[in-house]
């Protein structure tokens, strides 16, 4: 599953992220409610792990915004607020489950996987398509206009991220977090290098470019 953790405590967030990744899941992190809401709105997640008490926007406010948008992504609320009425408030706001702190990671993992299964009424997406660009996530193949395109592992992950968010501007920060798992700016041109390589493979020999630079902001893949 692809999971978003929204947690302002860096130690807790990293502990949960590491455990979920070791269990085979793809995990993104957001350090506050505002960033979490932006990420949840611009990418597809199978489940959200949401801290209740956060600066800027707390977990209940974030959840309310998502549900008002019609977003039905399963949500597990984490909170030190473990009284019955507090749990009821979180569930009534749209949470699918509520886990009070402190908790065991084994229980957290089981609950996340349980709510994630509820969010799979149809088959898991294994193929992506943007215009004439196609990606098979199981076979790990990419082709455009029927021509196979060979990509290195990191290029494949970068393209997958852009295709999953087609039409949306992906900032450098978002790409660093989703593709490189960096939650800081390494002060290198790693993104520029990989974007250049990717562009030479998916655009150079084709009539219509798909990978666009939004100057001062980031990149967008669009048919």
Q: For residue 206, what pLDDT is reported?
A: 93
Instruction: Give me the helix-helix angle, 59-68 and 33-42, nearest 10°.
Output: 30
Q: For residue 123, what pLDDT is reported?
A: 43
95 lies in the same domain as 191: no
* 80-84, 121-125, 172-176: the lowest-pLDDT one: 121-125
Whether 130 shows a pLDDT value over 70: the answer reads: yes
58 or 86, greater pLDDT = 58
Mode of pairing for the β-strands spanning 133-136 and 141-144: antiparallel
Whether 143 shows a pLDDT value over 90: the answer reads: yes
Whether 2 shows a pLDDT value over 50: the answer reads: yes
How far apart are alpha carbons 8 and 12 in whole angstroms?
A: 8
143 lies in the same domain as 208: yes
- The last residue of one of the domains, among 68, 91, 118, is 118
Q: For residue 58, what pLDDT is reported?
A: 87
104 lies in the same domain as 132: no
**Residues 56-72: pLDDT tens digits?**
888 899 999 988 888 88
Average pLDDT of the chain, as a whole number: 88
Q: For residue 158, what pLDDT is reported?
A: 95
Q: For residue 141, what pLDDT is reported?
A: 95
141 lies in the same domain as 160: yes
6 or 126, greater pLDDT = 6
110 lies in the same domain as 156: no
Which phi and psi angles does 21 have, rounded to 5°?
A: -65, -40
Q: How confident is the model at residue 122 (pLDDT cuts 50, 70, 90)?
A: very low
Cα dihedral 77/78/82/83 (nearest 10): -20
99 lies in the same domain as 42: yes
Q: Three-state secondary structure along 52-75?
A: CCCCCCCHHHHHHHHHHCCCCCCE
Closest C-alpha among 202, 175, 178, 198 to residue 188 = 175
Q: For residue 197, what pLDDT is reported?
A: 95
123 or 83, greater pLDDT = 83
- The last residue of one of the domains, among 93, 118, 143, is 118
For residue 210, give its domain range.
127-221
Total count of domains within the chain: 2
- The last residue of one of the domains, among 83, 100, 118, is 118
Q: How confident is the model at residue 125 (pLDDT cuts 50, 70, 90)?
A: low
CATH number at residue 108: 3.40.50.2300
114 lies in the same domain as 140: no
């Amino acid at each position: 599953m692809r999971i978003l953790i929204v947690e302002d405590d860096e130690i807790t967030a990293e502990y949960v992220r590491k455990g979920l990744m070791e269990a085979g899941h793809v995990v993104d992190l957001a350090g506050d409610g505002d960033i979490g809401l932006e990420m949840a709105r611009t990418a597809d997640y199978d489940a959200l792990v949401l801290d209740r008490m956060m600066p800027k926007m707390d977990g209940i406010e974030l959840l309310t915004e998502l549900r008002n948008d019609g977003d039905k992504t399963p949500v597990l609320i984490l909170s030190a607020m473990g009284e019955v009425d507090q749990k009821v408030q979180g569930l009534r706001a749209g949470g699918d489950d509520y886990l009070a702190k402190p908790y065991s990671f084994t229980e957290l993992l089981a609950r996340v996987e349980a709510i994630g299964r509820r969010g799979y009424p149809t088959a898991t997406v294994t193929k992506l398509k943007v215009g004439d660009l196609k990606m098979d996530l199981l076979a790990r193949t990419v082709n455009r206009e029927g021509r196979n395109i060979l990509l290195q592992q990191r290029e494949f992950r970068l393209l997958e991220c852009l295709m999953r968010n087609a039409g949306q501007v992906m900032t450098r920060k978002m790409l660093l977090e989703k593709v490189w798992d960096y939650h800081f700016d390494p002060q290198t041109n790693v993104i520029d290098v990989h974007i250049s390589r990717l562009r030479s493979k998916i655009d150079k020999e084709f009539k219509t470019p798909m990978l666009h630079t939004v100057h001062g902001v980031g990149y967008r893949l669009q048919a």
